[in-house]
Amino acid sequence: MQEATNPQSLPVKLYRMHDHLTVAAPMPGLEPEDILVEVTEQGQLILHGDRRGSLKEVKEVLLDEWNVGPYHRELVLPEPVDGEHANITYGNGVLVVAFLLSQEMQPARITLEKTGTAHGEYRGNIGGHLQE
């Protein structure tokens, strides 16, 4: 079997609460440091996850119906958000990004800090707690 070299498109859930937007995307098999979240001045959200390596060399693969990354998704956010103060978590293979709504788009380029095995976070919302 040939490995996928192009990034896989990510399905996402995007929902709004009264003061924030939340985006959730499945990105199984990554480490937190492999994930990049970017918000552009134009209101584009970019989710990217690089694949570190594969265990295919270690064992004989008998059935391979899905790949572990790389992942990539770009989407336009429906409202301006504060990217610098986002709260981002990664656990159980799911990335969750919670943005505070803003008067204007606040761009940011964020990587996660590892908090445990295959878990990571970025806590930009120091002034309050967002429910995910």
18-49 pLDDT per residue, tens = 999 999 999 988 889 999 999 999 999 999 99
pLDDT at 131 over 70: no
Number of folded domains that form the chain: 1
Rounded Cα gap, residues 114 and 36, in angstroms: 13
Is residue 95 in a domain? yes
Rounded Cα gap, residues 132 and 98, in angstroms: 7
Q: What is the pLDDT of residue 52?
A: 67
118-132: average pLDDT: 66
Is residue 58 in a domain? yes
Q: What is the CATH number of the domain that holds 115?
A: 2.60.40.790
Is residue 125 in a domain? no
Is residue 79 in a domain? yes
Is residue 1 in a domain? no
CB 95 within 8 A of CB 30: no
pLDDT tens for each residue of 10-19:
999 999 999 9
Is residue 128 in a domain? no
pLDDT at 94 over 70: yes
Residue 58 belongs to what domain range?
8-120
pLDDT at 59 over 90: no
pTM score: 0.82
Q: What is the pLDDT of residue 20?
A: 92
Q: Compute the radius of gyration of the chain from its Cα atoms.
A: 16
Is residue 65 in a domain? yes
Is residue 109 in a domain? yes
